[in-house]
Amino acid sequence: MSPQYRVQNPVDNQVIETFPSASDASIEQTLADSATAYREWSALPLATRAAAVTRVGELFEDRKEELAEIAATEMGKPLHEGIEEAEFASAIMHYFADNGAAFSAEQEIPTGGDARAFIRRLPIGPLLGVMPWNFPYYQIARFAAPNLVLGNTIVLKDAEICPRSAVAVQQIMDDAGIPHGVYSNVFATHEQIGTIIADPRVQGVSLTGSERAGSIIGAQAGKNLKKAVLELGGSDPFVLLDAADVKAAARLAWNTRMYNTGQACNSNKRMIVMDDIYDEFLTELVDLANKARPVDPHSPESAADDTYCPLSSRDAAENLDAQLRRAVAAGATVHAGGELAAEGAYFSPAVLSDVPVGSDVYYEELFGPVATVYRVASDAEALELANNTQFGLGGTVYSQDPERAAALSRRLEVGMACVNTPSAESSELPFGGVKRSGFGRELGPLGMDEFVNKQLYYVEK
């Protein structure tokens, strides 16, 4: 039985509103509308589509406070982070509207003769997007923006716990003048997702979510010979080789880890610290964790560095608590935090060390406010530990010697390697991973090169 679409406030776990799941008949109508709209939408000049997407970006900016309020209620995102997310969604829409013509331009191939050959980048048809709750606007924007500009149409299935944000995005699309059927939000059940993927009118599926969801969606896409993009979990290493100010480095690592209450796939989930600065680094983390206090995500106080908000749901908090207890049972040490509140989804930010490498919990993603720290004695040991994961989303290396950091970062088995910055996130920078973090890329020029017919166009004189 698929979960019910609902607004369940993580502050107190109370269900505020429920939404009915789509009927099979409405799913069929949505697919029919999407296929019909594709023929008309894809035939429009790209400039016309780009203008509509530009308007979508403007409305994300205009409504950012309203969108932030929705996210705070649905999944506990601090208000200021919700506003930042809506602004990022706006920037992504503008980026692809502004650059879509260049990204999809014909590419001529030298033939060595009188004939002329080109690669055309053409849309392929209706697409299914299965999006998560942790970034309810940004995740949709990075999938929808390039594909709408290119000429594909979209059926969007959002997470069950964020229906209001899904409705708000649909309203933005409608108010921006996106034609009926070009973007369609559906409250589909898990069973109906399989039906949509199998439908011959649908040409691809993009999922951002867990490993488990990715394996299911990937199998369904493969069975039906559909293109898939999967952005899954991560256990990103944050490697600190040296630091002029160890406490400042610890504060940066902590604030990065606690963003969105630790619920980001590319968060710095494993802090790998050189032996000579490890103790000072750990002490600062513990001090920061002990100072953290719970607040309501709607409160202006949620912007303060010494506060934390609830996780997305009580289930998420309980699952994280169970993982932490299993880590302790395996031999790990909790230095601070790690307490599950009696009600709601509050989980006090924790500092964890000595998770045994090779244990089951070591290879799991801890999706919440837990800073896991490891001590190493050499660059080689740091690299070995950083790559000892089933995931491969991102990773960063810090050092006062940029060449030392770069040398190690080049050997990280990740889709996004950074030096002396927590992460590289911007509209123009491709996002995606390797190994069990999935495949495909979003954002940047590569983000418009996934659901594309790279058609050969050959003209003989």
Question: Tell me, what CATH number does 180's domain have?
Answer: 3.40.605.10
Domain extent at residue 25: 6-232+437-460
Report the alpha-carbon angle 219-220-226, nearest 5. Answer: 105
Classify residue 424: in a domain, yes or no: no
Does 162 participate in catalysis according to the annotation?
A: no
Residue 262: phi and psi, rounded to 5, are 75, 10
Same-domain status, 361 and 293:
yes
Give the whole-angstrom CA distance, residue 92 versus residue 111.
36
Beta strands in 73-137 (DSSP E): 107-109, 116-122, 126-130
Q: What is the pLDDT of residues 382-424, one digit of tens each?
A: 999 999 999 999 999 999 999 999 999 999 999 999 999 998 8
Rg (CA), the chain: 23
3-state secondary structure of 451: coil
In terms of Cα–Cα distance, which of 165, 279, 146, 263 is closest to 209? 263
Classify residue 171: in a domain, yes or no: yes
Classify residue 85: in a domain, yes or no: yes
Same-domain status, 402 and 444:
no
Give the CA-trace dihedral at 186, 298, 262, 167, to 10 degrees.
10
Give the whole-angstrom CA distance, residue 423 versus residue 136.
20
Classify residue 307: in a domain, yes or no: yes
CATH number at residue 259: 3.40.309.10
Same-domain status, 171 and 263:
no
Does 84 participate in catalysis according to the annotation?
A: no
Query: Which residues are paired to 294 by β-bridges?
Result: 308
Catalytic-role residue among 69, 74, 160, 265: 265
Classify residue 91: in a domain, yes or no: yes
Helix H segments across 292-355? 314-330
**DSSP state letter for 261:** G
Catalytic-role residue among 231, 284, 364, 365: 231
Classify residue 187: in a domain, yes or no: yes
3-state secondary structure of 75: helix
pLDDT in tens, the chain (461 residues): 456 999 999 999 999 999 999 999 999 999 999 999 999 999 999 999 999 999 999 999 999 999 999 999 999 999 999 999 999 999 999 999 999 999 999 999 999 888 999 999 999 999 999 999 999 999 999 999 999 999 999 999 999 999 999 999 999 999 999 999 999 999 999 999 999 999 999 999 999 999 999 999 999 999 999 999 999 999 999 999 999 999 999 999 999 999 999 999 999 999 999 999 999 999 999 999 999 999 999 999 999 999 999 999 999 999 999 999 999 999 999 999 999 999 999 999 999 999 999 999 999 999 999 999 999 999 999 999 999 999 999 999 999 999 999 999 999 999 999 999 998 899 999 999 999 999 999 999 999 999 999 999 999 98
Here the tokens at position 184 are 């369609």
Give the whole-angstrom CA distance, residue 172 versus residue 154.
14
Same-domain status, 166 and 47:
yes
Same-domain status, 405 and 353:
yes
Same-domain status, 228 and 257:
no
Same-domain status, 226 and 247:
no
Segment (H or E) for 398: strand 394-398
Give the whole-angstrom CA distance, residue 213 versus residue 192.
14
Same-domain status, 213 and 246:
no
Give the whole-angstrom CA distance, residue 60 versus residue 91.
9
Classify residue 425: in a domain, yes or no: no
* Termini Cα distance of the chain: 61
Contacts of 199 (CB under 8 A, 6+ apart): 31
Assess contact for 27 and 186: CB atoms under 8 A. Answer: yes
Classify residue 427: in a domain, yes or no: no
Q: How many domains is the chain partitioned into structurally?
A: 2
Alpha carbon 108 to its chain centroid, in Å, reads 34
Same-domain status, 42 and 109:
yes
Same-domain status, 267 and 190:
no
Give the whole-angstrom CA distance, residue 256 versus residue 238.
10
In terms of Cα–Cα distance, which of 265, 260, 137 is closest to 211? 265
Give the whole-angstrom CA distance, residue 382 versus residue 138.
32
Same-domain status, 198 and 253:
no
- DSSP line for 314-329: HHHHHHHHHHHHHHHH
Same-domain status, 140 and 197:
yes
Q: Is the pTM of this model over 0.75?
A: yes
Average pLDDT over all residues of the chain: 97
